[in-house]
Amino acid sequence: MKLKEIPISIWQSLHLQRQTLQRLNGPQKPKVAVIVSLTTIPSRFHTLHLVIRSLLMQNVRPLKIVLWVQEGLSESLPKSLTKLVGPYFEIRYTQGSASHRKLVHSLEAFPNKAIITCDDDLLYPNNWLENLVHEAALNPNCIVANQTRYIQYDTAGKVKPYKEWTYPKEGFDPMRVIAIGAGGVYYPVGALDPMVTEESLFMSLAPRADDLWFKAMSLLKETPTLQTAKPTKTPTPIIGSQKIALKKTNIGQDKNRTQWEALVAHFNLKTS
């Protein structure tokens, strides 16, 4: 977390905590036909209610906000979170523990609905959901994300280190754009190959890189990925929620590259 983000995080957290349940659930707002889906880990239980509050305070209403929690942890959930369960927010339980849960279980539960994923350690601006839905409407049959990277290869066709996955100065191939989950990702119905829910495969090939797994599944269905033309303000990190984060290992030790290489080899993906 950056130093300049601390006062913003404190102010936003206090503002969200002041909102009553009536305020969070009561006002009539335009509805959008999407499911907002996320998962979490125990170390973030104590701040998770702030994330959900930021989702309930959006300018538009999704069909449902679904939180996937590992079975056996229901008694560990704080009241600050469970009291938010209501007409727009529900908690569902799953046997798995991988980060892939934020999407795969909602794909199974809501096969005919568009799904937007988000992370469990960020506060989302009020126009976040509205903007993603608007951008998706302008780009039908595409995966749309507020944050993306561009898969880069060297002259020999080998994958470059993840830190070098940046956009070229001119032109780009949407099939090499990868959606980054933190900023929010819109998945239209049928965007991913049905193998997306096969846990044994994603735990074998990309156990710590759900974004890469979903990218591979989109390539198998030949679904393009696009960066939003006008991304919303960057979500605000919650103080104390990012002590445990996959990006520290995946990026710092370049695990994203090795997991992507495994996916490319297994599925014979053509991206370079």
Supply the pLDDT for residue 255.
87
Q: Which of 259, 243, 250, 151 is nearest to 202 (CA)?
A: 259
The per-residue pLDDT of the chain, averaged, comes to 92
The contacts of residue 132 (CB under 8 Å, 6+ apart) are 116, 144, 146, 184, 186, 228, 232
Q: Name the DSSP letter for residue 182.
A: G
Supply the pLDDT for residue 243.
61
**pTM value?**
0.94
Q: Which of 127, 99, 105 is nearest to 245 (CA)?
A: 99
Are the C-beta atoms of residues 155 and 204 closer than 8 Å to each other? no
Supply the pLDDT for residue 5.
87
Q: Return the bridge partners of 225, or none.
A: 143
Supply the pLDDT for residue 244.
53
Supply the pLDDT for residue 181.
93
Strand pairing report for 122-123 and 236-237: antiparallel
Give the pair of three-digit tokens for residue 267: 């599925």
* Low-confidence spans in the chain with pLDDT less than 50: 249-251
Map tokens 């960057």 to a residue.
234
